[in-house]
């Protein structure tokens, strides 16, 4: 039995199936970890979500920003744009409720097998223990339909820019969500820059990649994440594994076997 952690699929179903074929994935034996952004921008988000739901007993997944966007659309918090054809197919599918309910039940953080998996990262001021606690607050909100609706209507926005233990309500949930699903660059105190989406070479001033701070409280923990395609899978940081290698942009789709940290990838430009 093997466990494979996979970076952002983003609806690239054919590429995902090619990757599973390469690693000889067997759902009766193997497990899949998915680092968020299962849907959006690819050409078959519906098939991707259906496959993951079908094999949900073998799948461990966390929510990414695009997954949350789909759920916000489902709750009426945002209008569907003309370009979001792949998401429209999910929302109008006969099994939409089943798929979306499963998606909404997923957490922002998974911690087991000696790894912590999130979509974007863990701010330098949070230990894994604190990150687990805060991720569970969002998970609990999503489990209550009335709270979930309020959450999705208030989820969008870049503020607050920094964590404060005294935050309450939707502002608290929003900044927790932004850390786990949107973060790339921040300051040592966790102040976010949610504008810059480029690579490490574009670090500026006190804003650095979240994983680069020497006194980061999760530095001794193995952290798997996706989200940041321009890293091209490289962090040059011990215990930090970047798995978004830009499949939807014509890069590659990457899997890491947790048992030995071997990497597998397929070309998505084909």
pLDDT for 253:
98
* pLDDT tens, position by position, 45-104: 999 999 999 999 999 999 999 999 999 999 999 999 988 999 999 999 999 999 999 999
pLDDT number for residue 270: 74
How far apart, in Å, are the Cα atoms of 198 and each of 42, 70, 185, 228, 232? 20, 24, 10, 8, 11
Half-sphere exposure in the Cβ direction for 42 (13 Å, CA) = 29
What is the DSSP-derived secondary structure letter of residue 81?
A: P
Strand ranges of the sheet holding 240-242, from the earlier edge strand across to the other edge: 109-112, 115-118, 222-225, 240-242
Residue 230 to residues 81, 89, 128, 246, Cα–Cα distance (Å)? 25, 28, 25, 7
- In our burial notation (b when 16+ CB lie closer than 10 A, e otherwise), range 157-168 reads eeeeebbeeeee
Contacts of 204 by beta carbon, 8 Å cutoff, 6+ apart: 185, 196
CA angle 213, 215, 216 (to 5 degrees): 65
Cα 6 from chain centre: 10
150: CATH:
3.60.21.10
DSSP per-residue letters across 198-213: S-GGG-BTTBEEGGG-
Is the model's pTM score more than 0.95?
A: yes
Query: Tokens 């223990």 sit at which residue?
Result: 129
Which of 194, 263, 198, 249 has its CA nearest to residue 11?
A: 249
Of the candidates 199, 128, 206, 129, the one whose C-alpha atom is nearest the C-alpha of residue 161 is 206
Q: What is the pLDDT of residue 211?
A: 97
Q: Which residues of the chain have pLDDT under 70?
A: none
Q: Which of 74, 250, 249, 254 is nearest to 241 (CA)?
A: 254
Residue with tokens 């091209």: 232
| Upper half-sphere CA count for residue 120 (Cβ side, 13 Å) | 24
| Residue-number span of the structural domain to which 148 is assigned | 3-267
**Number of domains, the chain:** 1
Cβ(260)–Cβ(266) below 8 Å: no
């Amino acid at each position: 039995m093997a466990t494979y952690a996979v970076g952002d699929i983003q609806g690239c179903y054919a590429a995902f199936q090619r990757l599973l074929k390469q690693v000889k994935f067997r759902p009766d034996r193997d497990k899949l970890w998915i680092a968020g952004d299962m849907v959006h921008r690819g050409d078959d988000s519906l098939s991707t979500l259906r496959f993951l739901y079908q094999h949900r007993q073998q799948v461990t997944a966390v929510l990414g920003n695009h997954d949350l966007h789909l759920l916000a659309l489902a709750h009426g918090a945002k209008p569907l744009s003309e370009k979001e054809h792949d998401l429209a197919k999910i929302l109008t599918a006969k099994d939409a409720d089943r798929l979306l309910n499963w998606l909404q039940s997923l957490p922002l953080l998974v911690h087991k097998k000696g790894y912590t998996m999130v979509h974007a990262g863990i701010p330098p001021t949070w230990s894994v223990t604190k990150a687990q606690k805060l991720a569970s607050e969002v998970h609990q909100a999503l489990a209550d339909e009335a709270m979930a609706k309020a959450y999705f209507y208030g989820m969008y926005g870049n503020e607050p820019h920094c964590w404060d233990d005294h935050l309450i309500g939707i502002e608290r949930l929003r900044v927790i969500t932004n850390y786990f699903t949107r973060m790339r660059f921040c300051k040592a105190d966790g102040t976010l820059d949610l504008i810059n989406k480029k690579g490490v070479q574009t670090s500026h001033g006190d804003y650095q990649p979240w994983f680069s701070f020497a006194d980061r409280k999760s530095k001794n923990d193995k952290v798997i994440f996706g989200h940041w395609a321009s890293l091209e899978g490289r962090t040059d940081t011990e215990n930090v594994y970047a798995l978004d290698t830009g499949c939807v942009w014509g890069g590659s789709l990457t899997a890491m076997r947790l048992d030995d940290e071997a990497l597998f990838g397929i070309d998505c430009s084909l």
